[in-house]
Structure 1
Amino acid sequence: MTTVTFDEATRTHPGGDRPAVEALDLHVEEGGFLVLAGSRVPA
């Protein structure tokens, strides 16, 4: 069984002063479908 799980994940880009993602909770079970897309926009 394959799953993807993030618990309270936070990501700040190098040199960034605030998180791009903060306190992310995500759970995708086997057979699920997930697409993450985005861009880095300078502050």
Structure 2
Amino acid sequence: MAKWWTPDDVVFVDQIPLGGTGKMQKNLLRDAYCNHLLTPT
């Protein structure tokens, strides 16, 4: 498996933001977790 196919990290959330049509709002997820890998754990 190529290295770029594997995710860098997995984040489990309690609730996924959905739009009016029931689709995931990926832009809100990106905004909320864009600095996730930059913060020390």
TM-score, normalising length: structure 2? 0.21
**Higher relative CO (CA 8 A, sep ≥ 6), structure 1 or 2?**
1
- The answer to which structure has the higher helix fraction is 2
Q: Flag the structure with higher strand content.
A: 1
